[in-house]
């Protein structure tokens, strides 16, 4: 956040121009002042660039522009977090002498911050400075400053849901057209006290994710008049929205035609950019048209004017190939139940109060290590929740040359591994999130990977608010009737936003993931026939051999599979077993 | 590389490998195939690419990337296989921005083997941290 300089006594005169990020400068640093002064000069003399003049003209013609043009006021309540949002809102609303509509109320460090639009309201709020007695017995400061576009501090779940709601109101499912024009003045958002201009990158990112996740089939998007100057955040549309043919971006602040490059690859046929500053750079219409067609070769309607048919060669289109994520990779039917059964049992035991029984899953000389770090798009950036594993995280990037530390953090021998697990806080894995990838399969060894989310308990027994995303790699060898882990690497991070949304409430009663479904670690032998049938299906063995194999393993399908797997890998099964 | 101290060998090889691998991925993609054994296999978000050629072809079709590593861990695999060649299991995590997509966190594992003077990948497994597809 911008630090508020409380020593500063003077009140800046209201200004209308925006910084690059849309903030009014509040630090008063000399550089920023210089920039604003020079802009002031631009605005007050006739040196205005032509697009500015045009924009002012359009603004005058269009009463709705006033929304963005008008000045905002930023209200800061030091210590507002302590007083509580309810208290601050209630006290200010009841004492303010004119109707109070707060926008983008949020807590930042210890302060409460919100924005108001009306000059009179702002003045009335200012008068409340040091008049309200807080629950702590102190007087509440109310600091008012002018501001341009309100900050959108972070996209909380509440804001995201409001955005989704607004977008679904603005999406026509029949024509597959999405109207995002002047998004910030959407009534449903304003009524919730949210002012969310699309020129804020975090707002645009959220909107773009909603499009790519929920309506990648969109045919037309009208994104005009949003004061956007940076379209980088729209780039995912070019990858995900293969049907997007109509894009209206009129009245934004795009300065150069090359700023549109991130959108290359969109199959646009209809486009509008009228009113964007870059459109005024061209003396000849033809130059403008060819600059646009260089990026979008199939455009036939530009700024509502029909163009001559394009000359397009299909080979010219840039092909972007990012394969879709696939479910668990378990190609071998004969080994799938063995791996999945193992994974199921392993995590079942891991989540229990006593992790001692896991000893049997490890080889005498097992090696184990845990590493952790934060990644992009995770809740970490919002909550700053630390991944604290008592210095046990074996992340080489944090200990580049300390070979001794690397050695100390490698847990050696299964007794030490179990000891490590006994000290690890209790966990609750969500089997619904599991992906199991089998990457190496040999008679003597297998390597597979399990990823998903889990909930971690604090030492005091309560759960950490954020889910953990993990990835565990197991190297296993056959041992007795089952498998034994010889190597395990466990990586933990805070779940990404998408994972948090998908698995917020992990409940053991949910149906297990497709990876886990279809296997049986049944101990209940009421349905031997079912076990037998699935065992026969998986092994392709005949009834007699299947029954023998199961009998010898106490009808434990997992051990039976292990034996089967070993025998078949070493080619010790007679051909008549499969007749 | 010393066979007597497999932990130190795997640690060194793991860290060096991780740095070189992602540097090559980002800036010398066409060379990346050489890091893989002929019979290597790559699982990329559950998509299977078998053999050096297929892996090379896949990488060259992938949009330009910018990768930032945030974590590397490596262990020696001592179980006997591949004629007792020194082998390491490496787990790397980072953020990758594929051109046209938002930056995304991933974890990638490698089984790498020492082939005399150089190390080659036998298995690679890449997954974004994302909900199960």
Alpha helices in A96-130 (DSSP H): 119-127
Cβ distance of B71 and A435 shorter than 8 Å: no
Report the top-level CATH class of A336-509.
alpha beta
pLDDT at A370: 96
Measuring CA to CA, how many Å separate B65 from each of A231, A353, B29, B41, B60? 19, 43, 9, 21, 11
pLDDT at A564: 80
Cβ distance of A498 and B131 shorter than 8 Å: yes
Cα A534 to Cα A550: distance, rounded to the nearest angstrom = 12
Question: pLDDT by residue for chain A (579 residues), tens digit each?
Answer: 333 333 333 344 444 443 333 343 343 343 434 444 444 443 444 444 443 334 333 334 444 444 444 588 999 999 998 898 899 999 999 988 888 899 999 988 889 999 998 889 999 999 999 999 988 889 999 999 988 888 888 888 889 999 999 999 999 988 999 999 999 999 999 999 999 999 888 899 999 999 998 898 999 999 999 989 888 889 889 888 888 999 999 999 999 999 998 898 899 999 999 999 999 988 888 899 989 998 998 899 999 988 888 776 655 444 557 888 999 999 888 888 889 989 999 999 999 989 999 999 999 999 999 999 998 877 665 566 778 788 899 999 998 788 999 999 999 999 999 999 999 999 999 998 999 999 999 888 899 999 999 999 888 888 888 899 999 999 999 888 788 999 999 999 999 888 988 887 544 333 344 344 333 333 343 467 777 877 787 777 888 888 888 877 777 777 777 778 777 777 777 777 776
Optimal mutation site among B91, B97, B111, B126, interface A, most CBs of chain A within 10 A: B91
Cα A380 to Cα A376: distance, rounded to the nearest angstrom = 9
* Pick among 2.30.42.10, 1.10.8.60, 3.60.110.10, 1.10.8.10: CATH of A526-578: 1.10.8.10
Architecture category of domain A157-316 in CATH: Alpha-Beta Horseshoe (3.80)
Q: Is the dihedral of CA A74, A77, A78, A84 positive or negative?
A: negative
Residue B68 lies in a domain: yes
pLDDT at A4: 34
Measuring CA to CA, how many Å separate A471 from each of A372, B46, B106? 10, 14, 10
Q: List b or e across A294-328, with b for residues whose CB sees 16 or more CB atoms inside 10 angstroms.
A: ebbbbbeebbeeeeeeeeeeeeeeeebebeebeeb
**Inter-residue contact A430 to A513 (CB < 8 Å):** no
Residue B8 lies in a domain: no
pLDDT at A63: 40
Cα A248 to Cα A272: distance, rounded to the nearest angstrom = 5
A403 in helix, strand or coil? helix
Q: Which residue in chain B is spatially nearest to A407 when comparing CA positions? A: B7
B44/A524: higher pLDDT = B44
Cα A129 to Cα A124: distance, rounded to the nearest angstrom = 9
Cβ distance of B81 and A442 shorter than 8 Å: yes
Cβ distance of A444 and B79 shorter than 8 Å: yes
Burial of B82 (0-12, 13-18, 19+ CB in 10 A): middle
Which residue has tokens 């690419």?
A: B49
Pairing status of strand A143-147 against strand A220-222: unpaired
Residue B10 lies in a domain: no
Range of the domain at B41: 16-128
**Inter-residue contact A5 to A28 (CB < 8 Å):** yes
pLDDT at A313: 63
Cβ distance of B105 and A503 shorter than 8 Å: no
Nearest CA-CA distance, residue A214 and chain B, Å:
14
Q: Of A120, A146, A560, A577, whose CA–CA distance to A337 is shortest?
A: A560
At what angle are helices A543-552 and A557-569 packed, to 10 degrees? Answer: 120
Cα A256 to Cα A250: distance, rounded to the nearest angstrom = 14
Phi, psi dihedral angles at A513 (to 5 degrees): -65, 160
**Degrees, nearest 5: CA angle A544-A549-A553:** 145
pLDDT at A484: 93
In chain A, where are the structural domains located?
A: 30-147, 157-316, 336-509, 526-578
At what angle are helices A336-350 and A557-569 packed, to 10 degrees? Answer: 140
Q: Kindly state the helix (H) or strand (E) to which residue B58 belongs, with its residue range.
A: helix B52-61
Cα A544 to Cα B107: distance, rounded to the nearest angstrom = 44
At what angle are helices A157-169 and A201-214 packed, to 10 degrees? Answer: 60
Q: How many CB atoms lie within 10 A of CB A133?
A: 11
Non-local CB neighbours of B82 within 8 Å, separated by 6+ positions? B113, B122
Q: Which residue in chain A is spatially nearest to B101 when comparing CA positions? A: A236
Contacts of A491 in chain B (CB under 8 A): 71, 73, 91, 93, 107
Q: Is the dihedral of CA A94, A96, A97, A103 positive or negative?
A: negative
pLDDT at A320: 54
A53/B29: higher pLDDT = B29
Model confidence pLDDT, tens digit, residues B83-104? 678 899 999 999 999 887 788 9
Cα A423 to Cα A399: distance, rounded to the nearest angstrom = 23
Residue B27 lies in a domain: yes
How many residues does the structure list for chain B?
133
Phi, psi dihedral angles at A34 (to 5 degrees): -55, -40
Cβ distance of A396 and B79 shorter than 8 Å: no
Considering only CB atoms, A487 lies closest to which of B75, B93, B101, namely B75
Average pLDDT, chain B: 90
Optimal mutation site among A416, A417, A470, A473, interface B, most CBs of chain B within 10 A: A473
Considering only CB atoms, A403 lies closest to which of B8, B18, B72, namely B8
Residue B66 lies in a domain: yes
Which residue has tokens 């003399």?
A: A45
Burial of B83 (0-12, 13-18, 19+ CB in 10 A): exposed
Cα B25 to Cα B45: distance, rounded to the nearest angstrom = 17
Residue B94 lies in a domain: yes
Q: Which residue in chain B is spatially nearest to A322 when comparing CA positions? A: B62
pLDDT at A531: 76
Cα A28 to Cα A33: distance, rounded to the nearest angstrom = 6
Residue B116 lies in a domain: yes
Number of compact structural domains in chain B: 1
Cβ distance of B101 and A236 shorter than 8 Å: yes
Measuring CA to CA, how many Å separate A301 from each of A245, A248, A294? 11, 11, 14
Q: List b or e across B33-56, with b for residues whose CB sees 16 or more CB atoms inside 10 angstroms.
A: bebbbeebbbbbbbeebebbebbb
At what angle are helices A336-350 and A528-539 packed, to 10 degrees? Answer: 130
pLDDT at A543: 80
Contacts of B5 in chain A (CB under 8 A): none
Architecture category of domain A30-147 in CATH: 2-Layer Sandwich (3.30)
pLDDT at A52: 39
Cβ distance of B89 and A326 shorter than 8 Å: no
- Interface contacts A/B by beta carbons within 8 Å: 200
Residue range B2-31: mean pLDDT, rounded: 90
CATH number of the domain to which B91 belongs: 3.10.450.50
Contacts of B131 in chain A (CB under 8 A): 433, 498-499, 502-503
Contacts of B93 in chain A (CB under 8 A): 371, 373, 375, 471, 491, 493
Residue range B29-43: mean pLDDT, rounded: 93
Nearest CA-CA distance, residue A504 and chain B, Å:
11
pLDDT at A19: 38
DSSP A104: E
Alpha helices in A257-383 (DSSP H): 285-295, 336-350, 380-383
Confidence class for position B3, pLDDT limits 50, 70, 90? low
Q: Of A197, A114, A112, A136, whose CA–CA distance to A163 is shortest?
A: A197
Cα A407 to Cα A410: distance, rounded to the nearest angstrom = 5
Contacts of A502 in chain B (CB under 8 A): 131
* CA-based end-to-end distance of chain B: 41
**Inter-residue contact A87 to A94 (CB < 8 Å):** no
Contacts of A323 in chain B (CB under 8 A): 44-45, 47
DSSP letter for each residue of B7-47:
HHHHHHHHHHHHHHHHHHHHH-GGGGGGGEEEEEEEEETTE
Distance between alpha carbon B21 and the CA centroid of its chain, in Å?
6
């Amino acid at each position: 956040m911008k630090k508020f300089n409380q020593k500063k006594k003077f009140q800046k005169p209201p200004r209308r121009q925006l910084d690059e990020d849309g903030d009014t400068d509040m630090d008063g640093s000399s550089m920023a002042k210089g920039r604003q002064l020079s802009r002031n000069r631009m605005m007050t003399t006739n040196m205005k660039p032509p697009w500015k003049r045009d924009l002012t003209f359009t603004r005058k013609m269009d009463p709705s522009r006033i929304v963005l043009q008008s000045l905002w006021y930023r209200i800061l309540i030091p210590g507002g977090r302590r007083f509580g949002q309810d208290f601050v809102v209630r006290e200010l609303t009841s004492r303010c002498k004119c109707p109070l509509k707060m926008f983008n109320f949020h807590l930042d460090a210890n302060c409460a911050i919100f924005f108001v639009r009306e000059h009179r309201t702002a003045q009335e709020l200012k008068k409340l400075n040091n008049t309200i007695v807080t629950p702590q017995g102190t007087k509440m400061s109310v600091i008012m400053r002018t501001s341009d576009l309100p900050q959108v501090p972070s996209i909380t779940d509440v804001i995201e849901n409001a955005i989704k709601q607004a977008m679904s109101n603005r999406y026509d499912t029949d024509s597959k057209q999405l109207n995002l024009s002047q998004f910030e003045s959407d009534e449903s958002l304003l009524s919730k006290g949210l002012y969310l201009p699309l020129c804020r990158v975090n707002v645009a990112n959220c909107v773009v994710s909603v499009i790519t996740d929920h309506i990648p089939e969109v045919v037309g998007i009208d994104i005009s008049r949003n004061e956007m100057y940076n379209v980088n955040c729209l780039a995912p549309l070019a990858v995900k929205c293969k049907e997007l043919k109509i894009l209206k971006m009129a009245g934004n602040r795009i300065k150069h035609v090359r700023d549109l490059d991130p959108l290359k690859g969109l199959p646009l046929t209809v486009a509008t950019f009228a009113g964007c500053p870059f459109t005024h750079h061209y003396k000849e219409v033809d130059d403008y048209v060819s600059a646009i067609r260089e990026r979008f070769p199939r455009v036939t309607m530009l700024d509502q004017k029909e163009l001559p048919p394009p000359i397009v060669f299909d080979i010219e289109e840039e092909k972007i190939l990012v394969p879709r994520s696939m479910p668990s990779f378990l190609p071998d039917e004969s080994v799938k139940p063995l791996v999945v059964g193992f994974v199921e049992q392993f995590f079942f035991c891991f989540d229990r109060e006593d992790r001692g029984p896991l000893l049997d899953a490890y080889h005498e000389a097992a090696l184990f290590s845990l590493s952790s770090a934060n990644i992009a798009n995770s809740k970490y950036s919002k909550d700053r929740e630390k991944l604290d594993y008592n210095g046990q995280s074996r992340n080489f990037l944090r200990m580049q040359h300390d070979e001794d530390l690397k050695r100390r953090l490698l847990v050696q021998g299964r007794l030490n591994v179990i000891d490590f697990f006994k000290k690890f806080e209790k966990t609750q894995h969500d089997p619904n999130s599991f992906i199991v990838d089998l990457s190496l399969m040999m008679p003597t060894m297998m390597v597979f990977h399990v990823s998903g989310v889990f909930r971690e308990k604090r030492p005091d027994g309560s759960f950490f608010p954020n889910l953990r995303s993990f990835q565990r790699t197991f190297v296993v060898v056959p041992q007795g009737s089952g498998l034994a882990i010889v190597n395990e690497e466990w990586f933990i991070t805070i779940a990404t936003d998408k994972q948090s949304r998908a698995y917020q409430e992990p409940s053991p009663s949910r149906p297990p993931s497709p990876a886990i479904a279809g296997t049986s670690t049944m101990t209940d032998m009421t349905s031997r026939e079912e076990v037998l049938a699935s065992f026969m299906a998986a092994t392709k063995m005949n009834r007699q051999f299947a029954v023998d194999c199961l009998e010898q393993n106490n009808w434990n399908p997992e051990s039976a599979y292990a034996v089967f797997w070993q025998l078949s890998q070493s080619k010790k099964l007679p051909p008549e077993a499969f007749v | 590389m010393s066979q007597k101290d497999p932990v130190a060998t795997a640690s060194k090889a793991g860290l060096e490998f991780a740095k070189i691998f992602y540097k090559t991925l980002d800036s010398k993609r066409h060379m990346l195939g050489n890091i893989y054994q002929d019979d290597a296999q790559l699982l990329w978000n559950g998509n299977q690419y078998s053999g050096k050629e297929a892996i090379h072809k896949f990488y060259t079709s992938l949009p330009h990337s910018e990768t930032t590593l945030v974590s590397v861990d490596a262990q020696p695999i001592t179980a006997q296989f591949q004629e007792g060649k020194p082998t390491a299991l490496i787990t790397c995590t980072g953020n990758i921005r594929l051109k046209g997509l938002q930056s995304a966190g991933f974890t990638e594992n490698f089984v790498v083997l020492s082939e005399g003077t150089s190390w080659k990948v036998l298995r690679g497994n890449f997954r974004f941290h994302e909900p199960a597809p």
